[in-house]
């Protein structure tokens, strides 16, 4: 049976990508898409991919209090940090319990919300109706670090570079192509939200240094891990393969992945595996599309999980390259 979905904050990059994914989903339909800036305009004028499925659906701008009455089976909150609570409070006030998926950081530290990084937390999902979508950088860091959690020694250092779509649509230095041209912009070099998020959910300290570059989508994380025992490189790579070869959304490869190769893809690439001479330090590179696996695709995985659909329904997963 088809389920209906509403998106609050649908004008942004992630909202647009999520609409495109819903357009290809066999069991999900849009009930509404909200945007104050686009209210009244046909959705198909902005996202042609939804035209065949959505009829004459138009952007609307319901108040927080009106949201529960719209009757959607699930609501995705694609809002800036700090804006989700008012929407959640509106559902609490009337005792409504649709599936709520928050794409911001607002509930990633709340134990009452399921933290939806399926490859690592799927076993912790027990029908929760409130789901916090992980951050884009945080997803890439956790997937790179998790296989070695039991042999880590000291904090993990992560150097990150993202395309400027990660800074959203509100104008700033971090999404100004002219200022980013021929440039690499460091920011929030200590205490970044994703540093705290990864440290909390892995239960291990992480030190994160983010940067913005001039490309639009895709991010890369270079993680420096100190190990409590010696590894041979072949042993370590095989360890990652055992951890992820049954996960269609994670690809382990010998070479360090390129961020340009991940743009527009739904999975995560992990590779590189550069070892120190003593075998007790490894540098691992992970890449993902910050708008897809870092946000919209992961939200769809979580929606599929919540509704009991195939987790990859509506997600076009490439076949693994042959060794």
Any idea how long the chain is? 323
What's the rounded Cα separation, in Å, for the pair 281 and 228?
Answer: 9
Q: Report the alpha-carbon angle 39-171-297, nearest 5.
A: 65
- Inter-residue contact 207 to 156 (CB < 8 Å): yes
Residues with active-site annotation: 136
- Cβ partners under 8 Å of residue 221, min gap 6: 137, 140, 141, 144, 158, 159, 160, 285, 286, 287
Strand partners, 74: 5, 99
């Amino acid at each position: 049976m088809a389920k209906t979905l509403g998106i609050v904050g649908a004008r942004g990059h992630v909202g647009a990508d999520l609409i495109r994914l819903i357009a290809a989903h066999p069991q999900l339909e849009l009930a509404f898409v909200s945007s104050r800036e686009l209210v009244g305009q046909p959705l198909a004028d902005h996202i042609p991919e939804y035209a065949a499925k959505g009829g004459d659906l138009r952007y609307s701008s319901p108040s927080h209090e009106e949201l529960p009455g719209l009757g959607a089976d699930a609501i995705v909150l694609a809002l800036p940090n700090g804006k989700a609570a008012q929407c959640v409070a509106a559902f609490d006030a009337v005792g409504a319990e649709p599936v709520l998926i928050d794409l911001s950081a607002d509930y990633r530290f709340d134990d009452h919300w399921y933290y939806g990084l399926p490859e690592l937390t799927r076993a912790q999902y027990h029908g929760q109706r409130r789901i916090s979508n992980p951050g884009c950088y945080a997803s890439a860091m956790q997937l790179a670090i998790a296989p070695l959690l039991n042999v880590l020694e000291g904090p993990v250092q992560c150097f990150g570079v993202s395309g400027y779509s990660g800074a959203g649509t509100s104008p700033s230095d971090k999404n100004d192509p002219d200022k980013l041209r021929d440039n690499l912009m460091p920011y929030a070099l200590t205490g970044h939200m994703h540093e705290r998020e990864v440290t909390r959910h892995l239960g291990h300290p992480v030190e994160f240094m983010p940067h913005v570059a001039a490309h639009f989508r895709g991010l890369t994380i270079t993680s420096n891990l100190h190990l409590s025992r010696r590894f041979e490189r072949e042993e370590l790579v095989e360890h990652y393969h055992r951890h992820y070869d049954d996960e269609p959304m994670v690809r382990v490869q010998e070479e360090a992945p390129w961020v340009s190769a991940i743009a527009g893809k739904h999975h995560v690439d992990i590779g590189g595996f550069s070892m120190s001479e003593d075998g007790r330090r490894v540098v691992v590179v992970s890449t993902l599309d910050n708008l897809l696996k870092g946000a919209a695709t992961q939200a769809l995985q979580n929606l599929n999980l919540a509704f009991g659909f195939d987790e990859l329904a509506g997600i076009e997963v490439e076949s693994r390259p042959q060794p």
